[in-house]
Copies of this chain bind each other. A is one copy, B any other.
Amino acid sequence: MSWLNASIMRTRGVAQGRGPVTHSLTEALQGKFHYTIGPYTAPVLTVKPGDRVVVDTRDAFEGKIRTPQDLPSKVLTLPFVNPQNGPIMVEGAAPGDVVAVYIESMLPRGENPRGTCCMIPQFGALSGTSFTALLADSLPEIVRKIDVDEDGVYWSPRVTLPYRPHIGTLSCSPQIDSLSSLTPDAHGGNMDLPDMGPGSITYLPVRTDGARVFIGDAHACQGDGEVCGTAVEYSSTTTIQVDLIKGWAIDWPRLETEQMIMAIGSARPLEDATRIAYKELILWMEQDYGYDRWDAYMMLSQCGKVRLGNFVDPKYTVGAGITKNYLSMP
């Protein structure tokens, strides 16, 4: 874990690795979960930069899909899906700052089959949807319940997938809007980015005093794009460490791992999400790593890495990254 000491969080964060106090955000403490991310809800917890929080997240269906017979169209009621823990207040956070969220670990929670994947009518990338509005019939409505543990995701008799957890939805509150937890945007939201797992640090722009961090939507694993619309959704115990970087004005979320830095954009159509991600990455290389703007642009045309988070949510999410070996100062 030594790379963390050289991370942006540790070198620019106010905690400087001090602390941490560990808080526990249990289901009981959370009480009511949230389906919209904004400034109009009461905080559940206040932390200092450097503190750890052990969060009990609920799955995206809030546990209502227990068997393959619990069809989404029967047991779910929009917009009451993708429940979020929070808001967590970060002491000292103010607009113009950045909150760093390091994901320390993600453990499965609850009894097996813990995992749920489903095909929901008029949802998913290869179906007509409420936005790509068609007259075609829906695809079949199918629910899969899946055993999940730290060793694997037991998809089918034929296939066991690796356990590669990540957090699907992570946000600071927008300034005055309150957005559906299904939507990713400049505040974070439902990005569904597989890189946002244990060992990653997400940097979120602060838009209200106290930042108001929301977190939820754990995935036991997910492919690029989340093509059918859902991952292996499950309840998790997710341990995060929160830090604060003062005066770092960023417009969109960013991410750091041991190997790379990544800028994140969410928009429709998908090329606009990709444009945002690459533009933010170029400006980042210019501002913090001594690159000329056009050198960065042309060089990323040779070595940039793109991750498709989702192309099924109300906005699509793309990360554009570069490996750290190209960032060390000459």
Contact = CB atoms under 8 A, between A and B. Distances in A.
Q: Range of interface residues on chain A?
A: 35 or more
A33 interface: no
A231 to B, nearest CB: 6
Interface stretch (A21-29, A86-94, A149-157): A149-157
A3 interface: no
A140 B267 CA distance: 25
A126 B180 contact: no
A311 B135 contact: no
Contacts of A231: 301-302
A198 to B, nearest CB: 18
Contacts of A267: 131, 268
Identify the 7 closest CB pairs spanning chains A and B, nearest first. Answer: A269-B269, A223-B304, A270-B270, A224-B306, A228-B301, A136-B136, A178-B178
Given A119-B298, A135-B279, A176-B178, 10 more contacts: A127-B136, A132-B132, A136-B136, A136-B139, A144-B298, A153-B302, A225-B304, A227-B300, A268-B268, A308-B308
A48 interface: no
A282 B227 CA distance: 11
